[in-house]
């Protein structure tokens, strides 16, 4: 996993609520057996017509918008547990997603992928979406060590919550496997004393 420290970039607005993982990456693209290449099919059915041509009205096809942060509506990532959704966003160049609510499994998958799920209030989200649509060059600065999202044009900085351990993992590029493997003596001891062995 790549290290995540700070991010100075612009945002791509997707002002829809309940964006589910079947939209982020449709099931028919889950057949790959490696982690690579999922970005090509990110939002495939919103992004392209049946003949593969781009849909002009979808934000990822709009040259006005670029940047490494997807700014999405409430309840982002609901539905399937497919980690491929986080892989697809990361593979397409996104390093953070801002929303006012993330589905639990998606949040975990994103953190395990090195993609920061950054939760803000409904009010801040609405302001961000409106501001980016007006000014696609609006600069956003995410600083993970201080857990802040700065919008310099507004002269405002918002703090966000993240689990302390997961923050360390992202900053250092660690994942849970090494940690858990190192717990083996405790796990084996636990197995010996647990009540249910049937």
Is residue 57 at the binding interface for other proteins, with CB under 8 A as the rule?
no
- Distances from the Cα of 81 to the Cαs of 86, 90, 106, 115, 172, in angstroms? 10, 16, 7, 16, 25
Distance separating alpha carbons of residues 71 and 15, to the nearest angstrom = 7
Is residue 171 at the binding interface for other proteins, with CB under 8 A as the rule?
no
Binding mask 117-156 for other proteins (x = CB under 8 A): -----x---x------------------------------
Distance separating alpha carbons of residues 69 and 87, to the nearest angstrom = 14
List 52, 53, 177, 192, residue binding other proteins (CB under 8 A): 177
Residue closest to 5 by CA, chosen among 158, 195, 172, 180: 172
Is residue 81 at the binding interface for other proteins, with CB under 8 A as the rule?
yes
Which residues would be at the binding site for other proteins (CB under 8 A)?
Answer: 15-18, 20, 22-23, 26-28, 30-35, 45, 50, 73-75, 78-84, 86, 101-105, 108-109, 112-113, 122, 126, 163-165, 175-177, 179-181, 183-184, 186-187, 190-191, 194-198
């Amino acid at each position: 996993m790549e290290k995540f420290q700070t991010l100075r970039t612009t945002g791509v607005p997707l002002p829809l609520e309940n964006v589910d993982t079947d939209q982020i990456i449709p099931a028919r693209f889950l057949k790959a057996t490696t982690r690579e290449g999922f970005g090509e099919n990110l939002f495939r059915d919103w992004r392209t017509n049946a003949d593969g041509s781009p849909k002009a009205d979808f934000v990822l096809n709009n040259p006005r918008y670029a940047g490494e942060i997807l700014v999405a509506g409430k309840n982002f990532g609901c539905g399937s547990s497919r980690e491929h959704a986080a892989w697809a966003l990361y593979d397409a160049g996104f390093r953070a997603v801002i929303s006012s609510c993330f589905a639990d499994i998606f949040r975990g998958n994103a953190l395990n992928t090195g993609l920061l799920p950054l939760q803000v209030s409904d009010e801040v989200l609405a302001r961000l979406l409106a501001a980016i649509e007006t000014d696609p060059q609006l600069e956003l600065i995410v600083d993970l060590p201080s857990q802040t999202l700065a919008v310099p044009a507004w002269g405002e900085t918002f703090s966000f919550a993240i689990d302390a351990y997961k923050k360390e993992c992202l900053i250092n590029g660690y994942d849970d496997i090494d940690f858990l493997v190192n717990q083996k003596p405790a796990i084996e001891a636990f197995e010996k004393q647990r009540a249910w062995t049937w």
